[in-house]
Structure 1
Amino acid sequence: MKRYIDKLKDFNELVMFEHSIFSLPFIFIAMIVAADGWFGFTLLILGVFAALSARNFAMGLNRFADRDIDAQNPRTASRPNVDGRLDSTSIFLFTAINGFVFIAVAYLINPLAFYLSFPILFILGSYSYFKRFSSLAHVILGLSLGLAPIAGVVAVSAEITPWSVLLSFGVMFWVAGFDLLYSLQDIDFDKEKGLHSIPSKYGEEATLLLSALFHALAILFWALFVWVAGLGFFAYNAIILSMFMLGYEHYLVRKDFTKIDRAFFTVNGYLGILFFILIVMDKVLG
């Protein structure tokens, strides 16, 4: 039994399950707005399974594709995909199973969700290879998580609404912005190995400026989402709070690069949760 528990822990470490906190709130924000309130336990369960299987697929493929790179990077050399805890076959099967689960769950939700599940998986998988030939990898990662609100709306109403696209653009620029900050940790390694990242190509200061621009765009698109969706007081406060939290994130990183992990995990994790809570309050109390 202990062996199986340890193996589960290894897979959990492989995909960093706790990072699901970045996409889940925005899926449910979209579902709440689309349903104009509670969307039901069935969609809640299916939504959780769809979100987690999609993310496990993306992370599993990323770890599978990056085995050679992770093994050479001191920051990632202790990951389960390179230190012998998980072999390549296990990671590949894990990835394939989660891709199948995502498609199956999408089929159970509605026909549009099923048809969109295939291009969504393609986009999620493409991120793993982009860094080998393009600095746009940061934007592709943002797009991958930015699809979450659209998926949430499709699950509830079987359509893609204008406000969901605006919300998705906000998530895309938010994620791309904080991924730029996170990638500053690997700037020297990426230069040495010829990997295409914005920090390694344009330097630290340009990366910080571009990240700030992306986060400004995230705030703009979130504000447009709130306006187009016809939300109220609490939703606008979510935008204001997000603006201050992202400003604090940039303050932390500029002050001390060793605070990148704190900025990445703590600030962004709380941002999604608080955004979600305020949207719920807007629907309940607005």
Structure 2
Amino acid sequence: MSDASRVADATGNWVDSRAPQWTRPYLRLARLDRPIGSWLLLMPCWWSAALSAAMAHQIAPLPRDIALFFVGAFAMRGAGCTWNDITDRDLDAKVERTRSRPIPAGQVSVGQALTFLVLQALIGLAVLLQFNRFAVFTGIASLIIVAIYPFMKRITWWPQVVLGLAFSWGALMGFAVTFARLDAPALLLYAGSIAWVIGYDTIYAHQDAEDDALIGIKSTARLFGARTHQALVICYGLAVVLIALALLYAGAGLAAWIGLVAFAAHLIRQIRRLRIGDGALCWRLFLSNRDAGFLLFAGLLADALIRANG
């Protein structure tokens, strides 16, 4: 039986088939039907946790930090998406892919969505309070960027930069948790992650480029247009170079460098395969960035284990 309330850009998943009916609009607000964004938010958290653990030659806290970052990333991405849907409800109603999202479809009121946002934010706060004071304040500072992001697509061709600032914040958090400070490796990892986010979200935005043009929404996909491949070479190239500098300053070992090479190879493959007019392919390539993130994390985690036991 089909679900009349199913979101147009959903792909048939556990929310559509197994979740209780009354929970589905809320699960969709949090994007738990499509958790790719949570994974992409989580990757820089795990990178920084592993790299900082390697620098400290101490892996005992790492399993706890990995678990807490997992919970926090899913909670805060859900809160961010809920906020995005609240602010974009009128725009979403004009785009084919998003018009059946819970708020424009009338499945959830703005007040209900705000209450749900607060609940998710409280989960994120509960996670954050497990860390030191410096990490708590560092995490809270990210909320400013999260709050303004949904409005950027209305005023700048570079909303992906602001998304990068928000989605890469986890690259700082591992160092804040481990050292209660932010040194060069943390800042370089953060900058590299921002460049990565700009690249993959440009690919994502090509799915909506035509609709965005009709309603006046700006994006790097529309800005780059036919030059997207060249732009991705720059973005992804910067990501690899900046992360390499972070590894160099951190004194990373061979395993971390192997992870970075695998990460770079994956990004090169994305650029070579991309066809900006093929929305389905853009979606698949965007999804594949979780795998790219895992490749780098695997190398950093192996390096942390080796250095701690060396």
What is the TM-score of this pair, normalised by structure 2?
Answer: 0.83
1:55 to 77, 93, 99: 77
**How far off is 1:224 after superposition?**
0.9
Looking at structure 1, the residues matched to 101 and 109 of structure 2 have their Cα atoms a distance apart, in angstroms, of 12
**What corresponds to 1:263 in structure 2?**
285
Paired residue secondary structure (1:95): helix
One-letter amino acid of the structure 2 residue matched with residue 13 of structure 1: R
**What corresponds to 2:11 in structure 1?**
none
Paired residue secondary structure (1:81): coil
Q: Does 1:86 align with 2:104?
A: no
Q: Is the 8 A contact 1:54 1:121 kept in 2?
A: no
2:145 to 123, 129, 146: 123
> Relative to structure 2, which stretch is displaced further, 7-16 or 137-146?
7-16
**What corresponds to 2:122 in structure 1?**
100
1:283 to 294, 299, 304: 304
Q: Does 1:34 align with 2:52?
A: yes
1:24 to 42, 45, 62: 42
Higher share of residues assigned helix? 1
**What corresponds to 1:10 in structure 2?**
25
Q: Is the 8 A contact 2:28 2:102 kept in 1?
A: yes
**How far off is 1:220 after superposition?**
0.6
Looking at structure 2, the residues matched to 119 and 65 of structure 1 have their Cα atoms a distance apart, in angstroms, of 20
Looking at structure 2, the residues matched to 169 and 103 of structure 1 have their Cα atoms a distance apart, in angstroms, of 25
**What corresponds to 2:295 in structure 1?**
274
Q: Does 1:244 align with 2:259?
A: no
> Relative to 1, partners in 2 of residues 1:111 and 1:285: Cα closer, same or farther, differing over 3 Å?
closer
Q: Does 1:183 align with 2:211?
A: no
What is the TM-score of this pair, normalised by structure 1?
Answer: 0.90
- 4+ runs of 1 displaced by more than 4 Å? none
> Relative to structure 2, which stretch is displaced further, 81-90 or 185-194?
81-90
> Relative to 1, partners in 2 of residues 1:224 and 1:8: Cα closer, same or farther, differing over 3 Å?
farther
Looking at structure 2, the residues matched to 41 and 33 of structure 1 have their Cα atoms a distance apart, in angstroms, of 13
**How far off is 1:96 after superposition?**
2.2
Q: Is the 8 A contact 2:206 2:276 kept in 1?
A: no
Q: Is the 8 A contact 1:181 1:260 kept in 2?
A: yes
Cα-to-partner distance string for 1:258-277 (whole Å, 9 max, x where unaligned): 31111001x20111112111
One-letter amino acid of the structure 1 residue matched with residue 266 of structure 2: M
> Relative to 1, partners in 2 of residues 1:224 and 1:7: Cα closer, same or farther, differing over 3 Å?
farther
**What corresponds to 2:3 in structure 1?**
none
Q: Is the 8 A contact 2:260 2:295 kept in 1?
A: no
Cα-to-partner distance string for 1:130-149 (whole Å, 9 max, x where unaligned): 11111121111111111111
One-letter amino acid of the structure 2 residue matched with residue 253 of structure 1: L
Looking at structure 2, the residues matched to 184 and 41 of structure 1 have their Cα atoms a distance apart, in angstroms, of 37
One-letter amino acid of the structure 2 residue matched with residue 98 of structure 1: Q
Q: Is the 8 A contact 1:99 1:121 kept in 2?
A: no
